Structure 1
Amino acid sequence: MKTAYEILDVSEQASDNEIKQAYLQKVKQYPPDHHHNLFQQIHGAYQTIKDQKSRLNYELFDYPEADFNILLDQALVSSEALTLSADSFDKLLRASIDDSIFQFSTTHKINNT
């Protein structure tokens, strides 16, 4: 099965703008009128990796082979990493991950130790 990056023909280090441009190019190439199933796949891939929050969720939960360090570096650079305190970093991660999933995993770890 192809990854979202492969479907859009972009690298894992692609910027939001590069991903959007690749999506628009694919939509022109495969319009929904004539390629409904392929368009659905392309649109789904775009929704999955269209921004940093979406990519972080994808990298953490749907794409275990991903290099999380690259994504984290990009997130830190875009959020003024030099002034990021531990509390701010925790808030950044919580905002990037669905809070219910974060709470479940935290509770699950506490109950299993």
Structure 2
Amino acid sequence: MIDPYRVLGVEPAANDEVIRAAYLAAIRDSPPERDRQRFESVRTAYEAIRDHRRRVAHSLFDCSPPNVEDLLSAVSSDFEPRPPNERRLLRVLGAK
């Protein structure tokens, strides 16, 4: 599930004008001749949330699973994998 708000760089509470301005700026930054994949990503994101009705539908009905790229982009740069502590490991295994 690609987060269209993240792709366009707007807040979920943004209005139509802010979303359209962010879309136009993103299209200017990555025209289809230069970066086709980014262009399609921006276009798809804008189509998903371009007006209030589509934003509501997206928030209610978008239940597609995230792909690896979505997960990696959602993880912050300061993420550091580490082994789980004993308490969490026991909880996951079902021990009391």
Same-fold call, TM > 0.5? Answer: yes
Aligned equivalents of 1:38 and 1:63: distance in 2?
Answer: 22
For structure 2, the residue ranges without an aligned partner over 5 or more in a row are 65-96
The alpha-carbon deviation at position 2 of structure 1 amounts to 3.8
Aligned equivalents of 1:48 and 1:2: distance in 2?
Answer: 10
Structure with higher RCO (Cα < 8 A, 6+ apart): 2
For structure 1, the residue ranges without an aligned partner over 5 or more in a row are 65-113
TM-score, with length taken from structure 2 = 0.63
For these two proteins, the number of residue pairs brought into alignment is: 64
Q: Helix, strand or coil: the match of 1:10?
A: coil
Query: Which structure has the highest helix share of the two?
Result: 1
The residue that corresponds to 1:61 in the other structure is 61
* Pair 1:10 & 2:7 matched: no
TM-score, with length taken from structure 1 = 0.54
Identity %: 33
Which protein has the larger Cα radius of gyration, Structure 1 or Structure 2? 2
Matches within 5 A, 1:15-94: 15-62=15-62
Moved over 2 A (4+): none
The alpha-carbon deviation at position 63 of structure 1 amounts to 5.7
The residue that corresponds to 2:94 in the other structure is none
Aligned equivalents of 1:63 and 1:14: distance in 2?
Answer: 21
